[in-house]
Chains A and B, each alone.
Chain A
Amino acid sequence: MSTGRLGEGDTAVQQTIFDAKADLLTATAADTPARLAVGTNNHTLIADSSAATGLSYAAGSKATLTTTGDILYASSANTPARLGIGSSGQVLTVSGGIPGWATASSSSTFAGCRVYKSAAQSIPNATGTAITFNSEDFDTDNYHSTSTNTSRITIPAGKAGYYFITGRCYFGAVGSVKPFAASIIKNGTTNIGGIEIDSSVTYETGRQVSGISYLSVGDYVELYAYQETGGNFDVTQNNNRTMLAVGLLGA
């Protein structure tokens, strides 16, 4: 860089081009100096081909983030926006394509149902028989109906996942040792769990079965009872006797 006096006819930037504190010297074209006034506090200088000087001030991260806990995101292309801090315990979620704070769902929310019989059901000899259930202990999401397909617990929309399934067939006492069995059947075909044990001759006979299975929306499970007394034989009723229950363990 050379220094010295300007000669006559020389072109130089005159100091009068600056009018205010923080003015910048730029150019609107080749050999065309121009003044750029300072922008708003905390705005940043960006290249801007749409501006005459090719430069402009715009709100950047420092101008956008105004409060402790603020989060910077883009509300559209090249448009920074501020998301204020949420409340204690809230979690960051997405709604409508932008981030937001929401109350966390409780991890202890339970889904499932437990159904039982309030009347006895006759089981034919040596015939696996689906138990129908006319009473519900609880049913969080309409897994079961007491009017249609009452033998079934059906997985409702949004509740697919791994389930713990348990069922119990309770029979009356018999006069001699006979085989009794219970099975949990998925979609009418797949045996999830079953047990067959000879009865006692003194006490009522209960058969408890359980299993864990992945159940998709629309899948259903049923409890089947089986006995070989030679005649029809009842499974007995009440909440603590013949029942079927499912509980969602996780997706």
Chain B
Amino acid sequence: MVKCNRPINLNGIELRQELLSVGIQISNEPLAVRLDGNNDLWLDIAENDAVAAKAVVAAHNGTILALEPTVQDKLTLVGLSIDDLKTALGLGGN
């Protein structure tokens, strides 16, 4: 594991792609890119890739997508609830 400074805008999928683009192999396992309890970033890569990886991390500015509205959010916009929807579909409410 290689320790790096955490970029402000961190997107693990994009960071993996950026590392791969410079030839640094990194797993898609959930913990191959991780933040520890002190908010330090750790990468599961070879030690001899550390210098190049830190440069990639320093330049990383990940896309932070806006969250897609939930079903509840969408229903609320039209004045309905999930229970309303269940009742309308004959599924019964709470």
Alpha-carbon distance A191/B65, docked complex (angstroms): 29
Alpha-carbon distance A196/B31, docked complex (angstroms): 12
A interface residues, tally (CB under 8 Å): 36
Interface residues of B in 17-52 (CB under 8 A from A): 30-38, 41
CB-defined contacts of A181 to chain B, threshold 8 Å: 30
Q: Counting CB contacts under 8 A, is B2 at the interface?
A: no
Q: Could you tell me if B71 and A185 are in contact, using CB atoms closer than 8 angstroms?
A: no
CB-defined contacts of B11 to chain A, threshold 8 Å: 124-127
Q: Could you tell me if A183 and B31 are in contact, using CB atoms closer than 8 angstroms?
A: yes
How many residue pairs bridge A and B at CB < 8 Å?
Answer: 97
Alpha-carbon distance A230/B12, docked complex (angstroms): 9
B interface residues, tally (CB under 8 Å): 31
Q: Could you tell me if B70 and A233 are in contact, using CB atoms closer than 8 angstroms?
A: no
Interface string of B74-90 (1 = CB under 8 A from A): 10000000100000000
Q: Could you tell me if B67 and A174 are in contact, using CB atoms closer than 8 angstroms?
A: yes
Alpha-carbon distance A174/B66, docked complex (angstroms): 11
Q: Counting CB contacts under 8 A, is B10 at the interface?
A: yes
Top 7 closest pairs, chain A to chain B, by CB: A151-B37, A126-B12, A175-B68, A230-B65, A128-B34, A128-B31, A226-B30
Residues of B within 8 A of A (CB): 1, 10-13, 15-16, 30-38, 41, 62-74, 82
Apart from A127-B35, A128-B33, A229-B67: 7 A-B pairs, beta carbons within 8 A: A124-B12, A125-B11, A125-B62, A126-B16, A128-B32, A229-B65, A231-B65
